[in-house]
Structure 1
Amino acid sequence: MDDIKLMNAASMQNEVQIEIEKGMEVSEEADQNLIVNINNVRPETSYGESETYDPLLAPYHRSIEEIEKMPTIEQTKTVCPECKLIVDGTIYRDGDNVMIRKHCPEHGWTIEKYWEDYDMYMKMRRYNYYGRGFDNPNYINENKGANCPFDCGMCERHKSHTGLANVVVTNRCHLSCWYCFFYAKEGEAIYEPSIAELDKIFYNLRNQKPIPANALQITGGEPTMHPKIVEIIEHAKKAGFDQIQLNTTGINLALNPSLAMKLRHAGVSTLYMSYDGVSKRANPKNHWEVPKTLEVARKANIGIVLVPTVIRTVNDHELGAMINFALNNSDIVRAVNFQPVSLVGRMPSRLREKQRISIPGAIKLIEEQTNGVISKSDWFSVPYIGGINKFLEALTGEYKYDMSIHFACGAGTYIFLDSDNKIIPITRFVDAAGMVEYLQRAVDEMEGKGRLERKAIAVKTLVGFRKFIDKSKQPKSINFSKLLLSLFTKHDFATMGKFQMKSVFIGMMHFQDEYTYDIHRVEKCDIHYAMPDGEVLPFCTFNVFPEVYRDKVQKQYSIPSREWQQTHNEWTYAKDKYTRNIKELEASEEYRKTYGKMIDYFALPVNGGKPVANFANEKFS
């Protein structure tokens, strides 16, 4: 009888969760707003054959004869999404879209959207360059990576050092997100490496040459579920990492404020926090807990990066509203890093086409939703920073962090909220393109010169770069020339931190899947996963081919669920799952302040007076 009651209760709670995800009212009888299995239901999306013609989907449905006549941009190697055979790929132009096509002898043609703006693609491509890779690659093979991505490691073919190292400390999670590619499900083994195993990983990362890994992200699962998470952070800090991020939902920190303080003292500098929208419907994951997490982070003085997974037809209508939310909390929110969804795994082609969104697709929606206050011309690809790095290296004669990822992997811009509440993107007062060209000329001039000559050229260059800053348009609250000069002369994380305290970074990072896979992007990846067996792998190899890498290696270091239960008294998968009390959370002061007293900064006269799309304060009785 008790079992039947539990099943009925679980069923009822799931129904309540579905209602919330559809944006509907929750009845008072629904178990007093207690919700479990949070975010485990894929929102309904219609993709039937009888739908009205959608021009966004047109590039998918041309004949192969039409497609083969379209202008080729470049050739690459890719994989068949069905059998994973390595095949030739063609990146080509289809009107305003950049597409990728590939043909498998067994499974035929695959056509996929690569970028949704040809002009932006060509602009970003200008900043593409090769980094220096590794002097001590952790993987040597005779064919020099010719079988990439299936003989993967940090081999001699890889062209970027580790910019951000990801280390998984557990595969347990208190949520069950339908789009997540990584958490332990019922009956699966538990991966939770020991401190000794993690120390080995940290050691390997810090001994990379010529540039040791310096930025670390502790991830999962939900890393705060590891009982020794504070000790893990302490060991990472002791290993020498300057920047330590914690990839989290923020829920456990909201429930346990003292943990945030302990993590800050141990060495965490940033919470890399999931955040899929402002509304309940867009963000059933942690909408209710975010207000408490913000307050906890303020008290602990830990900066927050909001990390939305962007899915077309699910939450893409709230991109501008999420930026506005960040501005409302810019005292603690340092960035919004949008991640267009990686559609890993098999799914119906029509559903994939409808939910696919690329970096420029999201950027154009931001321009539309913010009424042009943040426009697509404000964005640059990540390797743009390479020009600054090269200048610093030429000046000092020392290797510096080298953001040499593929130009199609990421983009970003900075926005400033001035003292009069005016939103000012950095490109409105800095000639970013002109500045990096100017720095490159200085780098060319320094080539082959001695230290004193390089220093003289650098001084002349630093005096001259002020002409690329329009002081009449810069925020009144900052002296940007002084801030930039400090960044150039000190070039460390502390100085970069001061820069970010004055601004909010808006970023895009689009990880690949089997449909968009491009070997040229993989060999330039600088976001790497490190594992206990000594392997270090690109993000888009580790997660796109889990059966070859992630799951295979972690299985070797995992504990079967039955054994885990025996050594962890009374543990069950169900007990790991968080139960949300909506009524209690919505009654909290933090919740009402966060969602009931927001300012629409875009609607202010100083920003044009037009409201950001889908802005709304909640009303409370």
Structure 2
Amino acid sequence: MNGKTPLIARTVSSLCPVCLEVISARIFQEDEAVMIEKHCEEHGDFKDIYWSDAAIYRRFMSYWSDGLRINKSSKTSHGCPLDCGLCENHKSGTLLGIIDVTSRCNLSCPICFADAGNDKNEPTIGQIASMMQVLRDQIPVPCPAIQFSGGEPTMRVDLPDIVYLAKTMGFAQILLATNGLVLASRPDLCHELIQSGLSTVYLQFDGVTPEPYEAIRGVNLLPQKLRAIENLRQAGNLSTVLVPTLVKGTNDGQAGDIVRFASKKLDIIKGVNFQPVSFAGRIDQEERTAKRITIPDVLALLEDQTNNEITRDDFYPIPFVKPISHLIEAETGISQPVFMAHPCCGAGTYIYCQGGHMIPITRFLDVEGLMENVRQRVADFDGSRLGRLKMKGWILKDVPRFIDGAMVPDNLNLKKLILNVFIEGAREALIDFHTRFLFIGIMHFQDLYNMDLERLERCAIHYALPDGRLIPFCSYNSIHRCDPLGGKSFAKM
């Protein structure tokens, strides 16, 4: 390690994983990893890995954002995370709202954070409408995207009606998180969902061979996954995202193969969103040390398994793209969703696929220089009509110098794509961009062992509940979904 680089040392608030008491935690560097360590007076010491690569941690944390509070937040009385609702200390609006439309499921996966099963515990369609209205009423920016989850949402017979309702309420993106079993057996439902307005299917997809499914789900589900993808293609769905839950020693050896699989089906698969296993719900807590995998681990796996076609340097944290939201807001005068999440919550990049090769966008676009230029142009914008015209002129002039024309694939007009997004800012321009690239994302959700309340306060993925509350993803699945001490549900139906 370079002696001039200071060791990582931070103090944050966390939780005792046994009694849920808010306690102090130390985030510190140990060799080349970043650890989290905490002590509960009653239950002793706890130590876990926070991030496996200190260098990547430093790079990602350089994109730290102070966040933006939303209006209509609830008052605090017990403190984070017991006041989730969202409370007045929360520092991000809702980028993605999630509604569990049922607790029923046709699988019983041992790693399920939802702990779903056979019990029929589900909101009425009227309650779902009210939950969606809470999301759309959010100020200053209405929630733009909704995901229906569970349990297994396709077990509800009125799911197409729920999707159509979301469309009429103005959600720009309507997503479905599913294991795909019902979609594999019912092409008619695929057609009905697409016709009702479904935008994207988030398909549970743990590998390209039977073994990961047998280990993680208890049965080989690969044939059903492939059939579901084909049924969605035939139904006219143009956006499926594969969602692999990565477990160390189980399917982490297939990360590269999953991306290759997706790259060959770009007509329907638009992304791969890796989710390192979170130790909440049904999973043996004693196995967490052996199975813990963090975002830098996934980056290293992709680098190794793609023979450096994709590297760790191609990925950036969620708030990296914040300047684009500010640019579109300055140009249109309309408040935009802003990516304020904690830098350690996720990572992403875009891959262009050509001739059997996967080419990260960073190979032919200086993304760091471009984002810094956009940030500076927005900072200089004075709000006037003349200033807006000048800003557009700067964009037209500046964007080409960040593109390496010699490296851009022959059949890709990157300049036009970027200018359309930056100047038009319309959903159609963003869709056009996404149809030409494969998105690779990694979202590492927290659990009670690595919980950092500073991260929680910046969460932008929120569950909507029938009682009107919005609860951050990691808080809901670790604490509010079910009380780990007594089995009491905090999510009142």
Measured against the shorter chain, the TM-score band is over 0.9
Contact 1:525 1:538 in 2 (8 A): yes
For 1:262, give the aligned amino acid. E
**Counterpart in the other structure of 1:243:** 173
Cα distance in structure 2, aligned partners of 1:276 and 1:492: 34
Name the count of aligned residue pairs. 479
Shift of 1:367: 0.3
CA shift in 2, pair 1:172/1:272, >3 Å: same
Out of 47, 54, 75, the residue aligned to residue 140 of structure 1 is 75
Contact 1:192 1:226 in 2 (8 A): no
Secondary structure, counterpart of 2:213 in structure 1? coil
Contact 1:112 1:516 in 2 (8 A): yes
Out of 229, 233, 239, the residue aligned to residue 294 of structure 1 is 229
- Find out whether 1:171 has 2:103 as its counterpart: yes
- Find out whether 1:428 has 2:371 as its counterpart: no
Give the number of the structure whose alpha-carbon radius of gyration is greater: 1
Secondary structure, counterpart of 1:283 in structure 2? helix
CA shift in 2, pair 1:293/1:348, >3 Å: closer
Out of 59, 65, 72, the residue aligned to residue 123 of structure 1 is 59
Task: Map 1:92-103 onto structure 2 (within 5 A).
Answer: 92-103=28-39
Secondary structure, counterpart of 1:507 in structure 2? strand
Contact 1:173 1:183 in 2 (8 A): no
**Counterpart in the other structure of 2:391:** 457
**Counterpart in the other structure of 1:160:** 92
Secondary structure, counterpart of 1:282 in structure 2? helix
Contact 1:183 1:220 in 2 (8 A): no
Identical-pair percentage: 37
**Counterpart in the other structure of 2:434:** 500
Out of 113, 128, 143, the residue aligned to residue 213 of structure 1 is 143
Cα distance in structure 2, aligned partners of 1:220 and 1:531: 12
Task: Map 1:604-619 onto structure 2 (within 5 A).
Answer: none
Task: Map 1:232-381 onto structure 2 (within 5 A).
Answer: 232-284=162-214, 285=217, 286-302=221-237, 303-344=239-280, 351-381=287-317
**Counterpart in the other structure of 2:18:** 82
Shift of 1:150: 1.3
CA deviation string 1:321-349 (max 9, x = no partner): 11111112121100000000101269777
Cα distance in structure 1, aligned partners of 2:133 and 2:222: 37
Shift of 1:393: 2.1
Contact 2:111 2:282 in 1 (8 A): no
Out of 199, 207, 219, the residue aligned to residue 129 of structure 2 is 199
**Counterpart in the other structure of 2:3:** none
Contact 1:343 1:352 in 2 (8 A): yes
CA shift in 2, pair 1:323/1:225, >3 Å: same
CA deviation string 1:66-92 (max 9, x = no partner): xxxx94432110011121111001111
Shift of 1:178: 0.8
CA shift in 2, pair 1:364/1:541, >3 Å: same
- Find out whether 1:531 has 2:465 as its counterpart: yes
CA deviation string 1:415-462 (max 9, x = no partner): 1112x333210100011111111111112211x442321331232133
For 1:503, give the aligned amino acid. F
Cα distance in structure 2, aligned partners of 1:114 and 1:498: 36
Secondary structure, counterpart of 1:537 in structure 2? strand
**Counterpart in the other structure of 2:343:** 407
Secondary structure, counterpart of 1:162 in structure 2? coil
Contact 2:146 2:171 in 1 (8 A): yes
| TM-score in terms of structure 1 length | 0.75
**Counterpart in the other structure of 2:405:** 471
Cα distance in structure 2, aligned partners of 1:492 and 1:154: 29
For 2:62, give the aligned amino acid. R
Cα distance in structure 2, aligned partners of 1:346 and 1:498: 40
Cα distance in structure 1, aligned partners of 2:265 and 2:188: 21
Secondary structure, counterpart of 1:178 in structure 2? coil
Unaligned segments of structure 2, at least 5 residues: 1-5
**Counterpart in the other structure of 1:59:** none
Cα distance in structure 1, aligned partners of 2:284 and 2:120: 31
For 1:119, give the aligned amino acid. A
Contact 1:140 1:156 in 2 (8 A): yes
CA shift in 2, pair 1:259/1:349, >3 Å: closer
CA shift in 2, pair 1:185/1:457, >3 Å: closer
Cα distance in structure 1, aligned partners of 2:181 and 2:472: 28
Q: Which runs of 4+ in 1 moved over 6 A?
A: 346-349
**Counterpart in the other structure of 1:149:** 81
> After alignment, is 462-471 or 128-137 more displaced?
128-137
Contact 1:339 1:510 in 2 (8 A): yes
Task: Map 1:173-188 onto structure 2 (within 5 A).
Answer: 173-185=105-117
For 1:238, give the aligned amino acid. T
> After alignment, is 217-226 or 127-136 more displaced?
127-136
| TM-score in terms of structure 2 length | 0.94
Cα distance in structure 2, aligned partners of 1:92 and 1:360: 16
CA shift in 2, pair 1:245/1:105, >3 Å: same
Cα distance in structure 2, aligned partners of 1:350 and 1:477: 51
CA shift in 2, pair 1:494/1:434, >3 Å: same
Shift of 1:126: 1.4
Contact 1:277 1:308 in 2 (8 A): yes
**Counterpart in the other structure of 2:419:** 485
Shift of 1:395: 2.8
Contact 1:150 1:548 in 2 (8 A): no
Shift of 1:394: 2.6
**Counterpart in the other structure of 2:375:** 440
Cα distance in structure 2, aligned partners of 1:345 and 1:294: 28
For 1:297, give the aligned amino acid. L
CA deviation string 1:255-280 (max 9, x = no partner): 01011010001010111000011110
